[in-house]
Amino acid sequence: MIKKIFQCKKKRINYVGVPKKHYPYSWDTNTCEYYCKNKRYKEVELNINTREYKDLASAMQKGKSVKRITRVEAPYLYGFFLLAKAEYKSRNFTFNIKELYHDTAERNIDSILNENLDRRMACRVKFGRGVSFSPSTEYANCQSSRSNGHNRAMIVTDVLVGKTETCSSHGQQLPTNSNNDTTTGNSQNVFVKFYDNEFYPKYIIYYENCKALFANMLSVPLRKYYPTWDINCEYTTRDKHYKEFELSKYSRLYQDLKLQGVKKPTWDINCEYTTRDKHYKEFELSKYSRLYQDLKLQGVKKVKRITRVECPYLYGLFLLTKAEYESRGVTFSVTELFHDTAEDKIDSILNTNLDRRMASRVKFGSGVSFSPSTVYANKQSSRSNGRKRAMIVADVLIGNQEECDCYGQDLPSGDNDTTIGNSGKVYVKFYDNEFYPKYIMYYDNV
């Protein structure tokens, strides 16, 4: 599948997303052409009489007025999801694809389906500073921010869940064990994901949040609105305000709820990677090669060795992002820039790419900083990077740019994707997959 994506201009349909043969069976075969001409996604409203609609509507708890349900067809986001899934497989990770829920305001849906859920926008971070999901629509609704208002959207999402750990602290930045990818909380009512592309929003349930009904619960006839409830409400005013009734295993309701479990995936892809334990390879350049000499002339002193990075996974994500720029008609360039770091961080970077959340110097924006000058990149690198350094030579997508207007700016304004500072000596990128580390120059910082 990755080879298909790499065939950049041969077939436009393979370049902007995932090949048609990897579409879910329910997708419209013309989705990719729609994506090219209009926007990154297409919403297909489900017929209320279909089994697909009824199964999704049944997941919503009582008191929620479902207005409509749509199926999301987004080749760009789905391509990223398949690459992330293939990367899990290549590293022999044991994982499941769980169907989980995320609640938000209806007005947020367009930006989510264009860019996917963004962990930087998280406001409730008790179980981790990432994107939160729940296996329960009721819990997702209850924990959703009040600012999301009356018109809501419940996102039904496929989520890659590998190794999990219980969250250890409020606002945890990443799982404490580097082998874990997910934190959980509240008896696994919450799953928090920290990395992009590990979830795909496949359905949207638009509904009205009828909290007024629950606020007045004790003043309305329970038999009218809740026909299965016990009509004795004394327990609400004593030790606790709820009561649990265990369902019979043979009841229709028990069997219907049991069917809400994880469904077996119906599609798969085959991706070959360079090694089984990691998804990149480094090839050391000959000191006598022209390329080695050209890179050495960039001004880095005490160079020990230079390697070429070959990482199909990261390069596939970079090509998809580049294709997405082209499909939107954005004027951009692929610019060769430099990023300085510690030598011992290279393995992590080549596995998951540079991470904007790790930025410590954010004068020109809270993102990943690059420079056209190796001297400047070295000078501005953190002292904690020590003596053994690595200068990353990266291809960076530069589209619309603006001067940074405040310290620690979270995002560029308008349609801009890059902030610059210090007379063009610094370029800051805020979105993943817009850069690819193609060479590493290992050197001693003197």
Label residue 248 exposed, middle or buried (CB < 10 Å: 0-12, 13-18, 19+): exposed
Q: Rounded CA gap, 195 and 182, in Å?
A: 9
pLDDT tens-digit series, residues 334-367? 999 999 999 999 998 988 899 887 777 788 888 9
pTM above 0.75, yes or no: no
pLDDT attached to residue 221: 47
* Mean local confidence (pLDDT), 159-184: 84
Domain boundaries, the chain: 2-211+242-258, 281-444
Is the per-residue pLDDT at 83 higher than 70? yes
Identity of residue 24:
P
Instruction: Give yes or no on whether 2-211+242-258 and 281-444 have one common fold.
Output: yes
Least confident of 17-31, 196-210, 227-241: 227-241
pLDDT tens-digit series, residues 348-357? 898 889 988 7
pLDDT tens-digit series, residues 254-280? 666 666 543 333 333 344 444 445 678
Work out the number of other CB atoms within 10 angstroms of the CB of residue 385: 17
Phi, psi of 59 (to 5 degrees): -75, -20
pLDDT attached to residue 213: 39
**Residue percentage of the chain with pLDDT more than 90:** 21
Residue 23 vs residue 400, higher pLDDT:
400
| pLDDT classification of 98: cutoffs 50, 70, 90 | very high
**Closest to 143 (Cα-Cα) out of 186, 205, 182:** 186
Q: Rounded CA gap, 410 and 199, in Å?
A: 23
Residue 131 vs residue 260, higher pLDDT:
131
Is the per-residue pLDDT at 375 higher than 60? yes
| pLDDT classification of 144: cutoffs 50, 70, 90 | confident
Q: How many residues does the chain have?
A: 446
Least confident of 4-18, 126-140, 144-158, 172-186: 4-18
* Mean local confidence (pLDDT), 299-323: 86
Fold annotation for 281-444:
Phosphoenolpyruvate Carboxykinase; domain 3 (3.90.228)
pLDDT attached to residue 275: 47
State in Å, rounded, how far the first CA of the chain is from the last one.
45
Give the CATH architecture of domain 2-211+242-258.
Alpha-Beta Complex (3.90)
- Alpha-carbon distances of 401 from 115, 320, 408, rounded to whole Å: 18, 21, 16
